[in-house]
Chain A
Amino acid sequence: MKIIHFPTTRLSELVKRAGGISRDDAVEGAMQQMESLRGESDDVIETTIVALEAIGQAALKEGKCSREQMLEILQHGDQMVTLAGTFGYGPLGIASRSICDMTDGMIHAGSHDIAPILVHVQAIRMMSPRRTALAPEAMDKVLAELTRVLTHLNFSPISDAAGEDNFGEIDGVVLI
């Protein structure tokens, strides 16, 4: 059985009202609100890097990185991708996506190797907003190394595995 409704939502009624805010003003207002959170965001990024370092050290002691530790890395990495992207820390965003891609690949491959994780954590540390920024050439070199690690391990980005191409994605919006 198939029933088709044509509902009117309160949201669609409310946005039709006169007045309101233009897109530019809305975006500017939102940017100002967000900018007030930048300092707090930098603190969260720093705390997350410390947490990643702690996982790396614990794994080093144990001689392997456990699945639970890798899931934790994914959670931290995910948050870093969001924060770095939101506040315009481009290289940190790339490195954060890379650690997610690598860890996700390791989980699926059943690998417990520590070295690639430590390399990523060290790279991310160098990109902390609380640190003096690396020179562009040095930054490129570090990012190229991370790419090389992923290529060597033959892991592809999570976005590929998710079949994003099948859904399409424009400007961060996944179309369904």
Chain B
Amino acid sequence: MSGPRMNLKNVTSLIVDRDHYTRGLIAQMLRGFGMESPMLVDNGEQAKAVLTESIPDIVFIEGELSDMPSANLLGWIRRQSKSPLRFVPLIVMSGYTQLRMIATARDGGAHIIVRKPVSPQTLFDRILWVARHARPFLETDKYVGPDRRFHDILPPDGIFKRESEAQVALQA
């Protein structure tokens, strides 16, 4: 069985991570998937500079940036109200010691959070999931980003974490 197919040719990306070796690893995986060579930066300010000039199709952000909380960069992207940049899929990649930041990243507007080390299988599946499952995009005073609740689509593992959502799914 060869699994689902995905055409990633011409898909552009940005990787924001302080560790050049980790950036290289993720970049190699993406190239292996057939994506364009990603843009690589090591902190939030550099990311903002790049994103002001161009809009990648997907952005990978380290769980804890070296120069600002990752939630700041997420929030900056999500509040670009006049640009399609705000809707861009954002995948936060948390290092082991950055796991405390999960809730912050979620509330900052991340599409999904992946824990490092990430395998090629996991990365492929998450990109596919983010690309194929459109989620409503909410804009409120306190939160801007994809709907954090799973109403009509299954979460990546197919398991609901909130009882109310599981009930909604059962009734649908």
Question: A18 vs B166: C-alpha distance in the bound complex, in angstroms?
Answer: 34
**Interface digits, B111-130 against A, CB 8 Å rule (1 contact, 0 not)?**
01111111111111111101
Is the beta-carbon distance between B57 and A14 smaller than 8 angstroms? yes
| Chain B residue contacts of A75, Cβ below 8 A | 97
B88 CB–A CB distance under 8 Å? yes
A138 CB–B CB distance under 8 Å? no
Q: Which of A5, A85, A176 contacts B117 (CB 8 A)?
A: A85
B134 CB–A CB distance under 8 Å? yes
Shortest Cβ gap from A114 to chain B (Å) = 20
| Chain A residue contacts of B6, Cβ below 8 A | 15, 20-21, 23, 26
Interface residue range, chain A? 35 or more
Shortest Cβ gap from B146 to chain A (Å) = 9
Shortest Cβ gap from A77 to chain B (Å) = 7
A135 CB–B CB distance under 8 Å? no
| Chain A residue contacts of B57, Cβ below 8 A | 9-11, 14
- Stretch of A37-45, A58-66, A120-128, A143-151 at the chain-chain interface: A37-45
A interface, CB within 8 angstroms of B = 1-12, 14-34, 36-37, 40-41, 44, 74-75, 77-79, 81-86, 93, 96-97, 100, 104, 158-159, 161-164, 167-176
Q: Give 9 A-B contacts (CB < 8 Å), ordered by A residue.
A: A2-B140, A11-B58, A23-B3, A26-B33, A29-B32, A30-B33, A34-B28, A78-B96, A167-B102
